[in-house]
Amino acid sequence: MRAKTGTKSASSGRKLGEKFSKDVVDDIYRGSFRSQTGVSLKYMLDFGAQPIHRQLMVSAQFLHNELPVRLAHRVAELENLPFGLSDMAQVLDVRDWYVESFRELRSFPPIENMEDEEKFTNILKRIMYRHENVVPMIARAVLELKEQLEAQRPKESQRPATARRGGTYATTDLNEFPEVHQFLDGFYMSRIGMRMLIGQHVALHDPPKDGYIGLICTSLSPLEVARDAIADARAICMREYGDAPEVELFGEEGFTFAYVPGHLHQMLFELVKNSLRAVSDKYADSDVTPPPIRIVIAEGAEDVTIKVSDEGGGIRRSGLAKIWTYLYSTARSPLKDMDADSAGPVVLAGYGYGLPLSRLYARYFGGDLQVLSMENYGTDAYLHLNRLGNMAEPLP
């Protein structure tokens, strides 16, 4: 089924050439044909071994050349999305943010001294702030598209009986539209990369911190990060349910490796949150004490693997692929309650982006995230992290 172009908002019709000068548009499309340059965690670590002034200059010069290319790729993509997405108000706003950042970077002169570097870093901070709400903005546009697609489906009485599933017609599954998924995966992976590079550069300006090179902790304890993620996820579960299942954690206390704590926390928080919700729902009306969630951290020669196991009832095989679908959730989406300036709520469930984004974070440095499930029993999630740090960013 091909969707009709979505209902256009008052912001629609703002094609790139209608809002920006020909010089800017031509510059963007030239940039979109240039190759992006991916870096690895190991490169960032080796780079951090240089004197700080040298680090800052080289980093700024690299970003001055690289970021406009990455922004140009995304602007060109946002102009050519399927199903009318390019005309939706939220997508147009995000595109304009990217164009504005592109123009700022392209108009900045070559970086030749530390004074230039300081001014450039201030621009990077401004870009980080400008793009803060990109994820929920795109999510709202995709949710609007999903609702439009569902509205176009024939009503139950108009569909042949052979097309009905279990007496009702299933809601739109965005797995039916691989173009949307391909765009979202690539767009969010690119966003992770740009925010990592900018955040790393800005963090190099902070006072030196033992065991850190920018955002990267050179001796990160996965057990400590897991404890923090468990505490945060259980706090939200307590708020939602009034109680929270126990979480058991197993691993080597002294084990450390180089990684970005913020990335690992986000992935583990999402996995533990999902398990807490599944177990809490299954035992909501039971007098039986819910079984604990178990987290095992294993050190391998090439990978660090973290398994999160629960007995929350599992997922049907037919539904397993849907967990990687953006905006798929069994809870009501809080995106419906957001205002235009909201960065997105922190809730136990319903956002529908947690697992697909977590998998992108895992893949960004060469890892992966897999989920196996036994229906009517529970689910195991395997988070693989590349401890060698030798994989370049998988740029779209």
pTM for the model: 0.87
pLDDT, tens digit (0-9, with 9 covering 90-100), for 265-300: 999 999 999 999 999 999 998 889 999 999 999 999
Cα 304 to Cα 290: distance, rounded to the nearest angstrom: 28
- How many C-beta atoms surround the C-beta of residue 354 within 10 A? 19
Rounded to an integer, the average pLDDT of 22-27 is 95
Cα 6 to Cα 24: distance, rounded to the nearest angstrom: 28
pLDDT, tens digit (0-9, with 9 covering 90-100), for 152-161: 766 544 544 4
Report the range of poorest mean pLDDT among 24-28, 175-179, 257-261, 271-275: 175-179
Q: Output 138 or 10, whichever has higher pLDDT.
A: 138
Q: Output 338 or 111, whichever has higher pLDDT.
A: 111
Residue 49: its pLDDT value, please?
72
Would you say residue 369 has pLDDT above 90? yes
Would you say residue 112 has pLDDT above 50? yes
pLDDT, tens digit (0-9, with 9 covering 90-100), for 294-322: 999 999 999 999 999 999 999 999 888 88
Residue 160: its pLDDT value, please?
45
Q: Do the beta carbons of residue 85 and residue 145 sit within 8 Å? A: yes
Q: How confident is the model at residue 328 (pLDDT cuts 50, 70, 90)?
A: low
- How many C-beta atoms surround the C-beta of residue 252 within 10 A? 12
Q: What is the percent of the chain where pLDDT is above 70? A: 84
Strand order in the sheet with 303-310: 247-250, 293-299, 303-310, 378-386, 368-374
Would you say residue 17 has pLDDT above 50? yes
The residue type found at 56 is L
Q: Which residues pair with 304 in a beta bridge?
A: 299, 385
Cα 32 to Cα 77: distance, rounded to the nearest angstrom: 9
Q: How confident is the model at residue 61 (pLDDT cuts 50, 70, 90)?
A: very high
Would you say residue 1 has pLDDT above 90? no
Q: How confident is the model at residue 50 (pLDDT cuts 50, 70, 90)?
A: confident
Q: Taking all residues of the chain, what is their mean pLDDT, rounded to a whole number?
A: 86
Rounded to an integer, the average pLDDT of 228-249 is 96
Cα 79 to Cα 370: distance, rounded to the nearest angstrom: 32
Q: Output 264 or 149, whichever has higher pLDDT.
A: 264
Q: At what angle do helices 52-78 and 22-32 cross, to 10 degrees?
A: 110
Q: How confident is the model at residue 382 (pLDDT cuts 50, 70, 90)?
A: very high
Cα 257 to Cα 244: distance, rounded to the nearest angstrom: 30
Would you say residue 134 has pLDDT above 70? yes
Residue 126: its pLDDT value, please?
97
Would you say residue 137 has pLDDT above 70? yes
pLDDT, tens digit (0-9, with 9 covering 90-100), for 89-98: 999 999 999 9
pLDDT, tens digit (0-9, with 9 covering 90-100), for 68-91: 999 999 999 999 998 899 999 999
Cα distances from 228 to residues 193, 203, 237, 266, in angstroms, run 24, 22, 14, 10
Domains of the chain: 16-154+173-203 (1.20.140.20), 215-386 (3.30.565.10)
Q: Output 102 or 173, whichever has higher pLDDT.
A: 102
State the DSSP code for 34. Answer: S
Q: Which residues pair with 381 in a beta bridge?
A: 308, 371
Contacts of 54 (CB under 8 A, 6+ apart): none
Q: Which residue has the tokens 């307590």?
A: 238
* CA torsion through residues 254, 257, 263, 268, sign: negative
